Amino acid sequence: MLLLLLPLIIGSCLPQTDKKPRSKRPLAPPVAIEHYRDLEIVFAISGGWKPDRRQEVGFKLVIRNTSDKTIELKWPSAKTHDFIVRNANGKIVWRWSKDKAFAQASKTKTLKSGSKMVIKSIWDQKTNAGKTAPRGKYTIQAEFIPVGYSKKLGPLGIQLVK
């Protein structure tokens, strides 16, 4: 009899956890964190792994100076970054920089110790051709492209459903 009750006794002594089934738990937003030279670069996607088809998907890069000195970031043009969305076959369906004109003048950003810069963009779930992206799995890559600090982050995955 004791052997039959043993699993119940042991189970009641274990710490209680969230009883929600895995499929019902809210999904954490996809995030990638890179430590590169004196920078911490965080790439995040809003909307979770399965964003609603009616909402825009937000992309954010947060670049923080983790050193104790001031860093000067330089770009050869006004283009400081890019976001690229690929379908399950690896084909680019949307690129933030496509059809944008960037000033060909160099750009500089000074980051003091501990300070950060934030870059945000929105994807409306349409392709660069203007069509709604079909249901399926997609990967998103961020590119932060200052001279001497260039870094690719991701890819992070999402799935468009409904």
Q: How confident is the model at residue 9 (pLDDT cuts 50, 70, 90)?
A: very low
Nearest residue to 48 (alpha-carbon basis) of 65, 71, 31: 31
Q: How far is CA 40 from CA 6, 117, 141, 143, in A?
A: 49, 11, 17, 14
pLDDT for the residue 27? 45
Which tens digits make up the pLDDT trace of 23-73? 444 445 688 888 989 999 999 988 666 766 777 888 999 999 999 999 999
Global pTM exceeds 0.85? no
Residue tagged 């690129």 (tokens): 95
User: What is 43-73 written as a DSSP string?
Assistant: EEETT-SS--TTSPEEEEEEEEE-SSS-EEE
pLDDT for the residue 97? 94
pLDDT at 4 over 80: no
CA–centroid distance for 144 within its chain: 12
* Phi and psi at residue 82, to the nearest 5°: -155, 155
pLDDT at 14 over 50: no
Domains and CATH numbers, the chain: 28-160 (2.60.40.2360)
What mean pLDDT comes out for the span 7-13? 46
* 5 vs 125, residue with greater confidence: 125
pLDDT for the residue 39? 94
Which tens digits make up the pLDDT trace of 88-137? 999 999 999 998 888 888 899 999 999 999 999 999 999 999 998 998 89
